[in-house]
């Protein structure tokens, strides 16, 4: 089956690869969606070529990039298994808030600034036809206040809907191979997946948006995670990407999310 795999990523300094912290910072920059980006819908409908296969766009961070190439990312391996074309838009250390104003990382010799997910949408909308949009982030946002993350997450989902109004949207709740169940202190025992689900249930505008919650699904429960980690002890190894692709494919099939139309 033919596969089109493209990538939209900025080459950042190596400092970006370990940017997740569960410790709340003292003075995080508040998220203000109104001032960050114009509504994607204001630009009018994009003109993109049609194709014979459904197209999936994975928007994410350095976990989403894949170990070696986009083709070998867990997103593209999942897409291939389900018969979708695959595009990866991934950038290290970004998220729903991270990479936005006041949270940009120093970059390489190319001078490309990091951008939060919502800031990337106007350009991604021009580049990619997307029957399925998968948001795979939040790992780099756990340092911020939960209320700020909730607002940024809700705004991003609304803007994805505006950018691709006929697309199926799937959210993967934040998780790590070394920490599949993430329970920020502010949630008093609830997981970040529980919180994202609450946000999606808070408005009928999010009806039809699906959440894949690795914590609730028991991903890597009772498994020695070390065999699936790269040498930095944080990112997936090639074996880790293969395992995540298997888990994600099974989760999408269980939810009957196998046909973006």
What does the pLDDT look like over 190-225, one tens digit per residue? 999 999 999 999 999 999 999 999 999 999 998 999
Q: What domains lie within the chain, and their CATH numbers?
A: 31-254 (3.40.50.1110)
Residues in the chain: 261
Non-local CB neighbours of 179 within 8 Å, separated by 6+ positions: none
Q: How far is CA 52 from the centre of its chain?
A: 25
**Residue range 17-21: average pLDDT?**
38
Please, what is the end-to-end C-alpha distance for the chain in angstroms? Answer: 19
Q: Identify the residue with better confidence: 11 or 29.
A: 29
Mean of per-residue pLDDT scores for the chain:
83
pLDDT at 17 over 70: no
Using a pLDDT cut of 70, give the percent of the chain over it.
77
pLDDT of residue 155: 98
Q: Identify the residue with better confidence: 88 or 33.
A: 88
Contact 64, 73 (CB under 8 A): yes
Cα distances (Å, whole numbers) of residue 63 to 12, 184, 259: 14, 20, 24
Highest mean pLDDT among 24-28, 64-68, 253-257: 253-257
Per-state percent for the chain, helix, strand, coil, to nearest 5: 40, 15, 50
Contact 152, 94 (CB under 8 A): no
Residue 29 dihedral angles phi and psi, to the nearest 5°: -70, 125
Rounded to 10°, the helix 117-127/146-163 angle is 10
pLDDT of residue 24: 33
**Residue range 162-180: average pLDDT?**
96
pLDDT of residue 107: 53
Q: Residue 38: how many CB atoms within 10 A of its CB?
A: 10
pLDDT at 100 over 50: yes
Q: Identify the residue with better confidence: 64 or 107.
A: 64
Contact 132, 260 (CB under 8 A): yes
pLDDT digits 0-9 by tens, 123-139 = 999 999 999 999 999 99
pTM: 0.81
Query: Which residues share a beta bridge with 55?
Result: 85
Using a pLDDT cut of 90, give the percent of the chain over it.
68
3 state DSSP class of 6 = strand
Rounded to 10°, the helix 74-82/238-254 angle is 40
């Amino acid at each position: 089956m033919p596969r089109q795999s493209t990538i939209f990523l900025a080459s950042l300094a190596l400092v970006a690869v370990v940017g997740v912290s569960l410790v709340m910072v003292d003075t995080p920059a508040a998220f203000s969606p109104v001032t960050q980006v114009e509504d994607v819908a204001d630009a009018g409908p994009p003109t993109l070529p049609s194709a014979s296969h459904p197209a999936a766009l994975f928007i994410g961070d350095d976990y989403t990039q894949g170990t070696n190439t986009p083709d070998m990312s867990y997103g593209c391996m999942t897409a291939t298994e389900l018969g979708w074309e695959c595009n990866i838009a991934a950038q290290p250390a970004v998220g729903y808030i991270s990479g936005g104003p006041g949270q940009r990382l120093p970059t390489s010799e190319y001078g490309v600034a990091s951008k939060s997910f919502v800031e990337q949408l106007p350009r991604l909308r021009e580049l990619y036809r997307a029957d399925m949009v998968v948001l795979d982030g939040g790992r780099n946002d756990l340092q911020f206040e939960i209320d700020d993350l909730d607002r940024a997450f809700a705004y991003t989902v609304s803007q994805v809907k505006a950018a691709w109004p006929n697309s199926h949207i799937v959210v993967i709740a934040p998780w790590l191979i070394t920490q599949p169940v993430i329970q920020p202190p502010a949630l008093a025992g609830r997981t970040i997946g529980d919180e994202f689900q609450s946000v999606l249930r808070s408005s009928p505008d999010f009806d039809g948006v699906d959440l894949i919650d690795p914590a609730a699904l028991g991903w890597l429960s009772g498994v020695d995670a070390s065999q699936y980690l790269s040498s930095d002890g944080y990112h997936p190894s090639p074996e880790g990407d293969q395992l995540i692709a298997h888990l994600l494919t099974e989760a999408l099939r269980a939810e009957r999310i196998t046909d973006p139309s």
